[in-house]
Chain A
């Protein structure tokens, strides 16, 4: 197989990788905020419930979660579950939302009480304090850990192959198996490096944008 043929086949897999990455972010970024709110709730049952959820998600392998979402409904309840790709998407969103929620929570709890009190004595509502005072400071603080987590997500997409979704890594494995050549499996490393490299640059730019003030 020529280099070009391999590249074209791998690009098909890469498309799935990028798609999974983007949909996961789109779902997990907002869902994480909801979970963070739950885990900071004053209503104890809700707090325990969400923290329990986060514990289970963070305490088990993502691969296991993908398998469970895909095979679980059929094996346990005997009902038709999700297709392969949607099942992977659901598992990824739940998993990453749990991790993001902890980053959000850490960011929100790191803002000093004085910021809230300053808003309060100036007659702001709780909503105004959150959106006009706290949120921006939280975003600045969580950029580095979020960058870390999002780069991990790029590489975690390779777990989708466990339920036969042909993302980048599986695309390479298929070529290796069919054509008895080994190099494509190393070649995909370049794809991942390019992807994470771009994200690193993006996060550096964002971080710089927030650097106009200290604190």
Chain B
């Protein structure tokens, strides 16, 4: 059974139908790259998964558990939505770190709030809390080491480069152990010389038990890292397949056109 099962997601903004019935599934350990022109619905799709946007129709299931179902008569409560969201992590194009907190606190804030809530529910003691927070701190340090920023843990976001900020944002998303980590054009706000360090970190996360969805314009990266590629155009999945199928043997005219344009912009290659 697939880890993620998305079926027939539709999203309408006013008169415009941004997503016109999108379905796909994802196995554990896969890296899905979503490509397509701007305004095609890629970001909206990601935001639907993270429940930042409520789809008009469709279902989303993670590990056989219903995360969203438009046919349910009863709307999910705020608390349920919050819990369901935690199956997904999201790394934003604009990083969205909390500027008033240092790097360490950016990582630990949400984790500590969730842990404190859990301990309170169980009626745990102050010692339990201290021990749990200690663990969170250790995990944060380990994650910062993993993204190569252990020496920056006391720095504030404004003191970091864009690439460093995005690496912190990745560590922040990882600390909650999401089943599926989503990236919304993680390098689009970066200077070209900084995209490499971020892509390298993302590539380094690839493993048999980490599942990722990356909305990206970096075709080289998608081709190299993804196990599955979806080409979204005008609110539908125009083409889906392995990187080789999509990049080497594009079937639809739209995809051929899209990939050609990408070449045109990089005359050197």
Chain A contact residues, CB within 8 Å of chain B: 112, 114-115, 117-126, 128, 132-133, 136-137, 140, 212-215
When distances are taken between beta carbons in the complex, the residues of chain A under 8 Å from B94 are 112, 114
Q: What are 30 pairs between A and B in contact, CB < 8 Å? A: A112-B96, A114-B94, A115-B96, A117-B90, A118-B92, A120-B52, A121-B50, A121-B173, A122-B109, A122-B110, A122-B173, A123-B82, A123-B83, A123-B110, A123-B113, A123-B114, A124-B110, A125-B82, A126-B78, A132-B113, A133-B98, A137-B99, A137-B100, A212-B156, A213-B99, A213-B156, A213-B157, A213-B158, A214-B99, A214-B158
Task: Decide yes or no whether B167 CB sits under 8 A from chain A.
Answer: no
Q: Which residue of B lies closest to A122 (CB)?
A: B110
Q: How many residues of B contact A (CB 8 A)?
A: 28
When distances are taken between beta carbons in the complex, the residues of chain B under 8 Å from A133 are 98
Known: A128-B113, A133-B98. A121 touches B52 (CB 8 A): yes
Give the residues from 112 to 131 in chain B that come closer than 8 angstroms, CB to CB, to chain A: 113-114
* Among all A-B residue pairs, the 10 with the closest Cβ atoms: A122-B110, A118-B96, A114-B96, A214-B158, A215-B99, A121-B90, A213-B156, A136-B100, A123-B86, A213-B99
Q: How far is the CB of B119 from chain A (nearest CB, A)?
A: 15
Task: Decide yes or no whether B183 CB sits under 8 A from chain A.
Answer: no
When distances are taken between beta carbons in the complex, the residues of chain B under 8 Å from A124 are 110, 113
Q: How far is the CB of A126 from chain B (nearest CB, A)?
A: 8
In the bound assembly, the distance between CA atoms of A120 and B96 in angstroms comes to 12
When distances are taken between beta carbons in the complex, the residues of chain B under 8 Å from A114 are 92, 94, 96
Known: A214-B158, A215-B99. A121 touches B89 (CB 8 A): yes
Task: Decide yes or no whether B176 CB sits under 8 A from chain A.
Answer: yes
In the bound assembly, the distance between CA atoms of A77 and B52 in angstroms comes to 53
When distances are taken between beta carbons in the complex, the residues of chain A under 8 Å from B68 are none
Q: How far is the CB of B214 from chain A (nearest CB, A)?
A: 16
Known: A123-B86, A124-B113. A117 touches B96 (CB 8 A): yes
When distances are taken between beta carbons in the complex, the residues of chain A under 8 Å from B78 are 125-126
Most A-side CB within 10 Å, residue of B50, B78, B109, B172: B109
Q: Which residue of B lies closest to A132 (CB)?
A: B109
When distances are taken between beta carbons in the complex, the residues of chain B under 8 Å from A119 are 110
In the bound assembly, the distance between CA atoms of A123 and B86 in angstroms comes to 6
When distances are taken between beta carbons in the complex, the residues of chain A under 8 Å from B51 are 120
Known: A117-B52, A213-B157. A123 touches B176 (CB 8 A): yes
Give the residues from 42 to 75 in chain B that come closer than 8 angstroms, CB to CB, to chain A: 50-52
In the bound assembly, the distance between CA atoms of A144 and B51 in angstroms comes to 36
Known: A124-B113, A213-B157. A115 touches B92 (CB 8 A): no
When distances are taken between beta carbons in the complex, the residues of chain A under 8 Å from B85 are 120-121, 123
When distances are taken between beta carbons in the complex, the residues of chain B under 8 Å from A214 are 99, 158
In the bound assembly, the distance between CA atoms of A124 and B172 in angstroms comes to 13
Task: Decide yes or no whether B231 CB sits under 8 A from chain A.
Answer: no
When distances are taken between beta carbons in the complex, the residues of chain A under 8 Å from B83 are 123
Interface string of B84-107 (1 = CB under 8 A from A): 011011101010111110000000
Q: How far is the CB of B162 from chain A (nearest CB, A)?
A: 13
In the bound assembly, the distance between CA atoms of A136 and B109 in angstroms comes to 14
When distances are taken between beta carbons in the complex, the residues of chain B under 8 Å from A121 are 50, 52, 85, 88-90, 173
In the bound assembly, the distance between CA atoms of A121 and B92 in angstroms comes to 10
Most A-side CB within 10 Å, residue of B99, B100, B176: B100
When distances are taken between beta carbons in the complex, the residues of chain B under 8 Å from A120 are 50-52, 85
Q: Which residue of A lies closest to B84 (CB)?
A: A123
Q: How far is the CB of A118 from chain B (nearest CB, A)?
A: 4
Known: A120-B52, A121-B52. A213 touches B100 (CB 8 A): yes
In the bound assembly, the distance between CA atoms of A167 and B114 in angstroms comes to 53
Contacts A118-B97, A121-B173, A123-B83 supplied; 18 other A-B pairs, CB < 8 Å:
A114-B96, A115-B98, A117-B52, A117-B96, A118-B92, A118-B98, A119-B110, A121-B88, A123-B113, A123-B114, A124-B113, A133-B98, A212-B156, A213-B99, A213-B100, A213-B156, A214-B158, A215-B99
